[in-house]
């Protein structure tokens, strides 16, 4: 019985994945964002930093977009990232697009990804960006 309690305590003291996403990862991408958003950063370095941010956030983009600061970081990365990195972020966000669009902070990331995506990626039935106007509707938490 004593050993079971010790095992449970040691497991509870280990850092969990949730703690990593809520503290370590946002700090890591925010330091890159500080260099990314400066006006004197060269375009090549800005693209590399944006790609690094999106790669670091891979698998957690939807969850990070719910945070005020992390959403701003991801928006800046989506604006400056190369098309391949941006397409990966769009593919990840696509499954969570509706809950993110209803979120007060995630909404801005969805709009930024749609605005910067190629027309073929977000085209509606008529070839227009219908989804862009959908996310600006009053039904999406804005």
Give the mean pLDDT of the chain: 77
Q: At what angle do helices 83-94 and 106-116 cross, to 10 degrees?
A: 130
The answer on pLDDT for 19 being more than 70 is no
Read off the pLDDT of each residue in 31-37 and give the average, rounded to a whole number.
Answer: 87
The answer on pLDDT for 64 being more than 70 is yes
* Percent of the chain scoring above 90 in pLDDT: 15
Confidence label for 77 from pLDDT (cuts 50, 70 and 90): very high
Of 83, 57, 92, residue with least CA distance to 72? 57
pLDDT the model gives residue 45: 92
CB neighbour list of residue 107: distance below 8 Å, 6 or more residues apart: 100, 101, 135, 140, 141, 142
Half-sphere CA count of 110, side-chain side, radius 13 A: 28
pLDDT the model gives residue 133: 47
By three-state DSSP, how is residue 84 classified? helix
Fold of 17-140: 1.25.10
């Amino acid at each position: 019985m004593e050993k079971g309690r010790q095992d449970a305590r040691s497991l509870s003291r280990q850092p969990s994945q949730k703690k990593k996403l809520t503290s370590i990862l946002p700090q890591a991408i925010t330091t890159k964002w500080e260099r990314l958003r400066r006006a004197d950063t060269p375009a090549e370095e800005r693209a590399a930093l944006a790609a690094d941010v999106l790669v670091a956030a891979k698998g957690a983009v939807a969850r990070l977009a719910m945070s005020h600061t992390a959403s701003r970081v991801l928006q800046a990365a989506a604006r400056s990232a190369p098309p391949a990195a941006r397409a990966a972020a769009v593919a990840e966000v696509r499954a969570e697009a509706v809950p993110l669009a209803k979120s007060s902070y995630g909404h801005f990331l969805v709009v930024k990804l749609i605005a910067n995506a190629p027309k073929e990626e977000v085209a509606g039935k008529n070839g227009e960006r219908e989804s862009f106007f959908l996310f600006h509707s009053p039904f999406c938490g804005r």
